[in-house]
Amino acid sequence: MSSKRCLRDEDIAATLFDDADSEDGLDFDNDSLADPDFVPELNNFEDDVPEVDIDVDSIIQTLEDDHESPGCSTEYAPSREMSDQAPPAKKPAKEKIPKLNLRWKKKNLELSELQLMFTGNKTLGSDLLELDTPIQYFFHLFSPELIKMISEETNLYQVQKDPNSTFRVSEADVRQFIGVVYIMSLVQLPRVTNHWSPILGTPLIQETISLNKFEKIRQSLHFNDNSKNLPREHPDHDRIYKIRPLVDSLNEAYSNIPIEEHLCVDEQMCSTKSRNTLKRYNPNKPHKWGYKVYVLSGVTGFAYKTEIETGKENVVLDGEPDLGASSNVVMRLARMIPRHQNFRLYFDNYFTSLRLLEYLAKEGILSLGTIRRNRIPDCKLSTEKLMMKKNEAIRKNMWPMSTGSTSQLLHGRTIKLSAWRPPLQDRSPKVMFVDGTNKN
């Protein structure tokens, strides 16, 4: 049996010197042969890194010289081409809207009657005053040209779908179909076919159109040519292309009516159970599922312009500021309002922002709307808890008017903030109003 021997320092040094080219003394592979077990981690490579011209041989030679002479200190200087290489360009940061730095003053907003005088024209024309019956009023908006277009597009679709089909839709058929649909909205039955039932049926509908013809029109009703519709991948694809002529024709008819002095911008839900990407959910509406429609209307309830939300209508024209998606809705619908005639425009806290009020004041449109507290920089109004206490303190007055009022001058325009509690019978939270007027 051989006796055990301890390794001396000289033996350890000699072993390390012999295997200096290997970190673990097991580097016996032939570098000219490909390793079949090697799998590169391609996910770790970055394609965005620019190519740099590096002399690999000179780097290896420098490292070997440094290893053989550990007492020497060698600094590696990159080649001139590397030093001249510009660093990779950084992506430009997205432009942020500068934060408003406002100073509020507590005072009342006082304007003269001349500054608030309405100078617009809201008288109805003779063609509107001659409308006596509801059917005349309907055809003034839903023009005969529009009905003719619906008839032509429906027949075109029928031919595209089945060239051998002999079914055609006339203008009279379109008018009958629209009238029947109106009656069905008033006389509601579980199913559409029940209106032709001998027991539950509606005699007026049965006398107007047959069930078979009604179903055929409903299946083939069209408002635009499908062959000209752009694919979804196209940047100019219109999500409401199939009803775009109908929407544009109605908005054009609405715009011919003189605008009232007091206007409002709000959203409506057109309820539906259909499966469509345009369907929205709003838990605060009576009809929670439906198409969202933005409307500019007057105090009489007449809608002067409608806009169906598709997610692609947030387009800012030249000369208009980008106020954000919600405020841009008001800016788009207000394009048809005459400027510098002191029209009154109202909206709720979904649309209101200080920059919107500034823009409307520059355009000569008086505006008023509720606002969310987080949209008011350095808000000086009382908190809801404090206003509840003030409401308790003045119960005897029955109507606690403004508990706080502050106004601020923004680029020559005065914006007034005010907040109060509703009457004691209404337990809803406090309301914060913003009033933007032109002080000049």
> pLDDT of 240-258, one tens digit each?
999 999 999 999 999 999 9
Q: Is 405 helix (H, G, I), strand (E, B) or coil?
A: strand
> What is the phi/psi pair of residue 370, to 5°?
-70, 155
Position 40 in a domain: no
The backbone torsions φ and ψ at residue 347, rounded to the nearest 5 degrees and listed phi first, read -160, 170
| Chain-centre distance for alpha carbon 138 | 32
> What is the three-class DSSP state of 83?
helix
In a domain, 25, yes or no: no
Last residue within a domain, chosen from 187, 206, 226 = 226
Residue 399 pLDDT > 50? no
Longest dimension (CA), the chain: 129
Which residues does 440 contact at the CB level (< 8 Å), separation at least 6? 412
CA 336, CA 346: separation in Å to the nearest integer?
15
Is there a domain that residue 361 lies in? yes
Selected residue with higher pLDDT from 27 and 433: 433
Domain boundary (226, 255, 278) is at 226
Residue 384 falls within a domain, yes or no? Answer: yes
Q: By three-state DSSP, how is residue 200 classified? A: coil
Res. 418 pLDDT band, cuts 50 70 90: low
Q: Kindly report, residue by residue over 268-324, the tens digit of the pLDDT.
A: 999 888 888 899 998 888 888 999 999 999 999 999 999 999 988 888 898 899 999
> Residue 166 domain-assigned?
yes
pLDDT in the model for residue 36: 47
Q: What pTM was computed for the model?
A: 0.69
The answer, yes or no, to whether residue 369 has pLDDT greater than 80, is yes
Q: Is residue 348 part of a domain?
A: yes
Per the model's pLDDT, the better-predicted residue between 434 and 352 turns out to be 352
pLDDT at 239 over 80: yes
* Residue 151 CB coordination number (10 Å): 19
Contact 259, 337 (CB under 8 A): yes
Does 13 map to a domain?
A: no
Domain count along the chain: 2
Looking at 173, 192, 226, which one is the last position of a domain?
Answer: 226
The domain of 402 spans 339-440
State residue 42's pLDDT score.
42
pLDDT band, residue 328 (cuts 50/70/90):
very high
Q: How many Cβ atoms sit within 10 Å of the Cβ of residue 129? A: 9
Closest residue by Cα to residue 52 from 26, 13, 79:
79
Q: Is residue 327 part of a domain?
A: no
Q: Between 84 and 243, name the one with better pLDDT.
A: 243
Percent of the chain with pLDDT over 90: 48
Q: What is the mean pLDDT of residues 38-48?
A: 43
Q: What is the mean pLDDT of residues 114-130?
A: 89
